[in-house]
Amino acid sequence: MSPLIGKFVITDGFINNLRAALSSGATQLVDTGVIRDLQVIDVYQDEQNPDTIKADFELLPLYPVNYIKITLTF
């Protein structure tokens, strides 16, 4: 996001383009196996700080394999 800061004004079009870029990045993270799922919930202008954009995400991480339990039944 750094290349976008300070170069644009906040418009509906900018927010929509940013939402699309964030969704694309989320898809890439899922497709490459970095995380299980990442959804962009909302992208909006902060009411208290109108020069700030906020983005809300829902994330489902992948967990490392720390244990494997095997049950044998005879």
Domains of the chain, residue spans: 2-60
Buried b (16+ CB within 10 A) or exposed e, 19-34: beebeeebeeebeeee
Q: Is the pTM of this model over 0.85?
A: no
Residue type, 60: L
- H or E element, residue 26: helix 12-31
pLDDT of residue 34: 93
CA angle 31, 35, 62 (to 5 degrees): 130
Q: What is the mean pLDDT of residues 62-69?
A: 88
**pLDDT tens per residue, range 15-44:** 999 999 999 999 999 999 999 999 999 999
